[in-house]
Amino acid sequence: MRYEETLRNPERNPMKRRVLLQAGVAATSVATTAMRSANAQDGNPEVGAIADSFSRPVFIATWNFGQAACERSREVLLGGGSLKDAVERGIHVAELDASNHSVGYGGFPNAQGVVQLDACFMDGLRQQAGSVAALEGFPNPISVARRVMETTPHVMLVGDDAVAFAKKQGFQPQDLLTEEARLGWERWKTAQQQGESATTDSHDTISLLGLNADGHIVGGCSTSGLAFKLPGRVGDSPIIGSGLYVDGEVGAAGATGVGENIMRYCGCFLIVEFMRQGMSPTEACAAAIRRIAAGEQRPASELSVNFVALNKAGQVGAAGTDKGFRCAVVDGRQSLVARPQLLQ
């Protein structure tokens, strides 16, 4: 299958993430009680049931690996660091994990075997934001994105110019293609040449949101993007309002999944606006997914669209279309992985 066709028809993409392969096809609706009961076997509580059980400061992130990231964020904040420091260094945990093939160092490369990273950073104070896309050679794109926000009048830098900026800011370049990722790319390339399908057990973007005791909100999003993507492809992760949005007076939302299905609807901005109208974080995430599914005119289960959110009061929430999607929530008293509201 040609790569261009996999983007037009993501449900046929042989390189889809594990969670896409697990997702079934059903009518667009809120998950049934039977589905929730089946998911409960993993021992994770449902995020909607624990939304009010956390106290500020609180962090929420996408996926199981987000738990270690959130715990690092808590450690930095309680150790005297700023909330921006906490979010940035929490995301570093995922970016520097070589076993994570969809974020930072160790991420799967593009179709030419080059690792290209995307990230954005946003501070709810005056909606400050920084972003980098198609960045090559730097394992912590979240830090480069933060530096764009803090040291330039711009929001987004891309490609070779983002590389030049990172070097000028003192970041040290390195080879990001691990042996494991290179072998995965070689297998994919061979399968493509032979007209065969190939699969990979890849996870996804980390979006991490933080709220401190004073009500300050910061968020970050980082990814290596779709495995073996077309060179230069950029998804939702570095796009303000798509993969991440933070409004200091309302709340924040972060995304993970197939970026093309999120960015065309400004998914995270939509969630924050729903919260502004009075919805809880989980209600807002679910409403955004329903809006996307309606626009796509296909079942939610085919979309791979997943969100986490929090509001200024400290409520957390999440909803998604992938059965394997989980979120991590950490505050001063507890740390856990939770199940989102599942829409199919």
Gap between the Cα atoms of 200 and 277, Å rounded? 40
Check residue 195 and give its pLDDT. 83
What is the CB neighbour count within 10 angstroms for residue 260? 16
Taking residues 116-121, what's their average pLDDT? Answer: 98
pLDDT tens column, 248-282:
999 999 999 999 999 999 999 999 999 999 999 99
Residue 155 pLDDT exceeds 70: yes
Gap between the Cα atoms of 2 and 110, Å rounded? 14
> What are the tokens at 146?
């933060």
Taking residues 334-344, what's their average pLDDT? Answer: 97
331 strand-pairing partners: 58
DSSP 66-96: HHHHHHHHHHHHHTT--HHHHHHHHHHHHHT
Residue 29 pLDDT exceeds 80: no
Taking residues 32-60, what's their average pLDDT? Answer: 73
Question: Which one is catalytic: 62, 200, 205, 223?
Answer: 205
What is the CB neighbour count within 10 angstroms for residue 126? 7
End-to-end CA distance of the chain: 26
Average pLDDT score, the chain = 89
> What are the tokens at 274?
């729903």
Check residue 198 and give its pLDDT. 62
Dmax of the chain from CA atoms?
Answer: 57
Active site includes 205? yes
Thinking of the domain 3-342, which architecture would CATH place it in?
4-Layer Sandwich (3.60)
Check residue 196 and give its pLDDT. 80
Check residue 204 and give its pLDDT. 85
Confidence of residue 199 (pLDDT cuts 50, 70, 90): low
Check residue 24 and give its pLDDT. 29
Let me know: does 205 contact 196? Beta carbons within 8 Å: no
Taking residues 94-117, what's their average pLDDT? Answer: 97
Residue 16 pLDDT exceeds 50: no
Q: For residue 45, which amino acid is it?
A: P
Residue 321 pLDDT exceeds 70: yes
pLDDT tens column, 67-89:
999 999 999 999 999 999 999 99
Q: Report which of residues 202 and 304 the model is more confident about.
A: 304
pLDDT tens column, 156-168:
999 999 999 999 9
pLDDT tens column, 225-240:
999 999 999 999 999 9
- Domain boundaries, given as residue ranges, for the chain: 3-342
